[in-house]
Amino acid sequence: MKQTTFIALLVVVVVAMMAAVFLRSNTQGEPGTENTSQDVPTLKGAVQFGEEHAFTRTIRKFEELVREYYGKPVDFELYLNSELGLEKDYFAYMSQGISVDYGIVSPAHMSTFSESAPLMDMPFLFRDVDHWNMVLESDALDPIVEEVSEKADVRLIGYAGGGIRNLIVNKPVTNMQELKGLTMRVMGAPIQTRIFQAVGAAPSVIAYSEIYNAIQTGVIEAAENEAAGIQQMKFYEVGPEISATRHAITVRPLCFSGKTFRRLPKGLQAAILKAGRESGAFGRELESTEDAAILSRLEKDSRLRVHEFTQRDELMKLAEPVKAAYAKEINAEKILVRINELK
């Protein structure tokens, strides 16, 4: 009798222990639940640059804020200098929920999932830096955010960027007459060619790596880029005259994998969303400030000369119908109207 009772008690204890293990293993990492186990979440990020680049510093700020707002242990592994590929690869990984959980990605790499996403890179989209910031703090881009989330399963949690693009020219260009017929390199998106044709230039698509030689040998007279690119590629050696057209201000979304996000505890999800917004604003301030500082330093060192383009309002006016037609093509008419409404 005693032996039977002992065996029965032993069975009860074993069953109870198995049930406890089962319950714990099924609640760890359960979407939307707080993880009460000793496991510390590990999130993996990727960036094409080293620690000093504005994008990397923005991502580091994101990691710092997530830790602060979550208030519990969370580990980050950030892969630098294109160790895990390029931005297009990061976006693909985030969409699949593998290898990369977060990173900063150009809107161009989202076009497979959202035909409206490239609108963010359209020349003359923003009137100035204040308008650019206003748009990124508003709900104007929400339709793109929703489409990317639905079709790519990637969340856009903040907006970095801030590089201001100007013309890099081998001669001074300060007005519409001097711009007319200017042979220049543009990026591959068709909207780039169409807009610069509309304002009177003669654009052509040339590989980024060929810009220096193309200006040096007279194939083209100009290109366009932001200050960091001018400095890194030493374009000032062949195009020392900067025409301050300010035709584009970059928008670089901070992205997070939807598949990873859903696996995280609610508290960590909330921290990620808050940190994404705030680190995006940090990145915009950082890059836009550095952009101006780079040009100022290069000009002070007599590497280049900055010329104001005196008829920028005319550029904006000529670009307007091209922008409207492009927005219609990519089903972004309402988005463009909303952007233009913001004052």
Residue 99 DSSP label = S
Q: What is the mean pLDDT of residues 19-36?
A: 42
On the question of pLDDT at 9 being above 50, the answer is no
CA 123/CA 192 separation, integer angstroms: 7
pLDDT tens-place string over residues 149-158: 999 999 999 9
Average pLDDT over every residue of 306-317: 97
Higher-confidence residue: 26 or 180? 180
- Tell me how far the alpha carbon of residue 234 is from its chain's centroid: 24
Task: State the Cα angle at 46 between 43 and 49, rounded to 5°.
Answer: 145
Per-residue confidence (pLDDT) for residue 188, from 0 to 100: 86
pLDDT over 90 percentage in the chain: 86
CA nearest neighbour of 105 among 91, 92, 123: 91
| Region 34-62 average pLDDT | 87
pLDDT at 37 over 70: no
pLDDT at position 38 is: 58
**pLDDT tens-digit readout, 190-209:** 899 999 999 999 999 999 99
Token match 């592994």: residue? 77
Under 8 Å between Cβ of 215 and 235: yes
CB 63 within 8 A of CB 78: yes
End-to-end Cα, the chain, rounded Å: 87
What are the helix (H) ranges across the chain?
Answer: 2-27, 54-70, 87-96, 129-137, 142-152, 176-179, 190-198, 211-216, 227-233, 258-263, 266-300, 312-329, 333-341
Domain 40-341: state its class.
alpha beta
- Does 246 score more than 60 pLDDT? yes
pTM: 0.84
The per-residue pLDDT for range 261-291, each reduced to its tens digit, is 999 999 999 999 999 999 999 999 999 999 9
Confidence of residue 64 (pLDDT cuts 50, 70, 90): very high
138 DSSP assignment: S
Q: Phi then psi for 230, rounded to 5 degrees?
A: -60, -45
The angle formed by the CA atoms of residues 206, 212 and 216, to the nearest 5 degrees, is 110
Model confidence pLDDT, tens digit, residues 202-234: 999 999 999 999 999 999 999 999 999 999 899
Query: What are the residue ranges spanned by the domains of the chain?
Result: 40-341
Is residue 22 predicted with pLDDT exceeding 80? no
The pLDDT of residue 21: 36
- Would you mind telling me the total number of residues written for the chain in this entry? 343
115 — phi, psi (to 5°)? -65, -15
> What one-character-per-residue DSSP string does 28-92 give?
TT-TTS---SSPPPEEEEE-SS-TTSHHHHHHHHHHHHHHHHH-S--EEEEE-TTTT--HHHHHH
Quote the mean pLDDT of the chain.
Answer: 90
Highest mean pLDDT (candidates 33-37, 99-103, 117-121) = 99-103
What's the pLDDT score for residue 39? 86
pLDDT surpassing 50 at residue 25: no
Report pLDDT for 189.
86
Tokens encoding 223:
């290109």
Q: Convert the pLDDT of each residue in 69-118 to its tens digit.
A: 999 999 999 999 999 999 999 999 999 999 999 999 999 899 889 999 99
Q: How many CB atoms lie within 10 A of CB 274?
A: 17
